[in-house]
Amino acid sequence: MVTILEINKKFGGLRWKLVSTYLLLVLLTILLINSFINESLRINYTDEKKISLLTQSNIIADRLSPYISEIDSKYVNNLVKDIAMKLSIEIKSRVMISDRNGKILIDSYDTLEGQRLNKEELSLALLGKNVAKQHYLDEYGRVVYVAVPIVSKGSIVGAVFISSSLEEIFANIRSTMRKFVVLSFFSLAITAFISFIFSDIISKPIEKLTEAVRKMALGKFNQKVEVYGNDEISNLGSAFNLMTTKLDQVDKQRREFVANVSHELRTPLSSIKILSESLIHQEHVPEEIYREFLIDIDSEVDRLNKIIDNLLYLVDLEKENIDLDYQLSYVNYLIQKILGGLKPLADKKNIELSFVERVRIQVMIDKSKIQQSLINIIGNAIKYTPKNGKVNVELYTEKDKFVIKVEDSGMGIPQDELPFIFDRFYRVDKARARKTGGTGLGLSITQQLIALHQGEIKVESVVDKGTIVYIRLPLKATL
């Protein structure tokens, strides 16, 4: 059963709108052309007829002018009548000849001879004018009256009056117009056909896009549409494909992220669970063990807190609703302060910390955020360098940038893992990293903070030899 909704869908669609628009346009054009042709044909034909009748009338008037004064003679009368009759047959019209008072002398239809003809055209002709005028008569339809004076020796002696039907002309026009209407229907049908096919070219891809978007709404992001040609619709298709690729990527990242987060949170939670359960299920646990276990639980809770804090901070960074608090800062001093803070950590592993200041730099930066980034990078260098190693920080300029280079003599990062170290939760050696207390979020956060400063961060590393991190920041901040 076809419902109203289906009909609406079928005929309310883009295709039908296009087809009906085209049809309407063509129809309007045809109507306009139609009435224009009709009108000009009518005017042309009737004007032509009037001019030809006027010419004929004048020729007759010239020929008759010598005879009108002697029309009383039977011979002359017959002669004039003969001329009038011949003309009447030739031009299929009623021909009348009047004297100077408007009395009909000759009538090719015989009925009016001897009577006065009271027609405006005749009166005007007797005043010396050539007149042709169209009338509508109930019995005969459209007619034209033509009247011209007959002039003899300078004075008007009478007039020629012709009444001719225009119906034949109008019949001709009507038949021409009928042919035109048939042609119009043909062109309408062709328009409908062509616009139907043409609208398909437009509506089909849109239907496919709609279909793809519907599937996306159901969560299937990996939709692709075929793209042909290089018009607006195919551009839309390409843009759509680009968008779905991106969305698919984002969706994958989101899934990975959620999986990572749950994993990262579950690990400390399971430790806590194991620790507390073993306390609960054992009777008579010595107090030192209690203390020891509780300290472990406490540190796992700290770790959970750290992960969650970092995560929330990262989410804020990615939403880009972090405003930088730019202030003029002395970079040399900032680095010295950071190194001072990290010194106890380095001392514990007997790592030699050094700072090479090639330049003195004062720039506009968000001091606390750059400090946070540097603590992370230098902290990593210390963390991932074994005992008795070296960590060196160097400050220098490069064109319109300044560079903070952090070099360590640590374990290094395998070449194939380098591209991933900025990913959230990514750690080269998961087990050891947990022991060192890292969350795997530090480099992610650092990269975002440096990017917010229009800077960039690059890492070079050789396994078992060491790692170099370059942080490049603009000397002139664009605030």
Contact positions toward ligand ADP, by CB under 6 A?
376, 380-381, 384, 408, 410-413, 421, 426-429, 433, 438-443, 467
Q: How many residues bind Mg ion (CB under 5 A)?
A: 3
46 vs 448 by CB, closer to Mg ion: 448
Question: Among all residues, whose Cβ is closest to Mg ion?
Answer: 442
410 vs 455 by CB, closer to ligand ADP: 410
145 vs 384 by CB, closer to ligand ADP: 384
Contacted by 467, from ligand ADP, Mg ion, none: CB < 5 to 8 Å by type? ligand ADP
Q: Are 454 and 475 spatial neighbours (Cβ–Cβ below 8 Å)?
A: no
Write down the least CB distance from residue 435 to Mg ion, Å: 13
Write down the least CB distance from residue 348 to Mg ion, Å: 17
150 vs 353 by CB, closer to Mg ion: 353
Write down the least CB distance from residue 408 to Mg ion, Å: 13
Among residues 46, 164, 380, 409, which is the contact residue for Mg ion, using CB under 5 A? Answer: 380
**Residue 64 CA: distances (Å) to CA of 112, 151, 262, 390:** 19, 9, 121, 137
Contacted by 195, from Mg ion, ligand ADP, none: CB < 5 to 8 Å by type? none
Q: Are 98 and 123 spatial neighbours (Cβ–Cβ below 8 Å)?
A: no
442 vs 455 by CB, closer to Mg ion: 442
- For the beta carbon of residue 356, count every other beta carbon within 10 angstroms: 11
* Long-range contact pairs involving 424-430 (C-beta distance under 8 Å, separation at least 24): 424/257, 424/260, 424/314, 425/260, 425/261, 425/264
Rounded to 5°, angle at Cα 12 from 8 and 14: 145
Write down the least CB distance from residue 289 to ligand ADP, Å: 30
Write down the least CB distance from residue 324 to ligand ADP, Å: 21
Write down the least CB distance from residue 438 to ligand ADP, Å: 2
158 vs 412 by CB, closer to ligand ADP: 412
Question: Among all residues, whose Cβ is closest to ligand ADP?
Answer: 438
Write down the least CB distance from residue 269 to Mg ion, Å: 22
121 vs 408 by CB, closer to ligand ADP: 408
What is the contact mask toward Mg ion in residues 409 to 448, using x (rule: CB under 5 A)? Answer: -----------------------------x---x------
Contacted by 158, from Mg ion, ligand ADP, none: CB < 5 to 8 Å by type? none
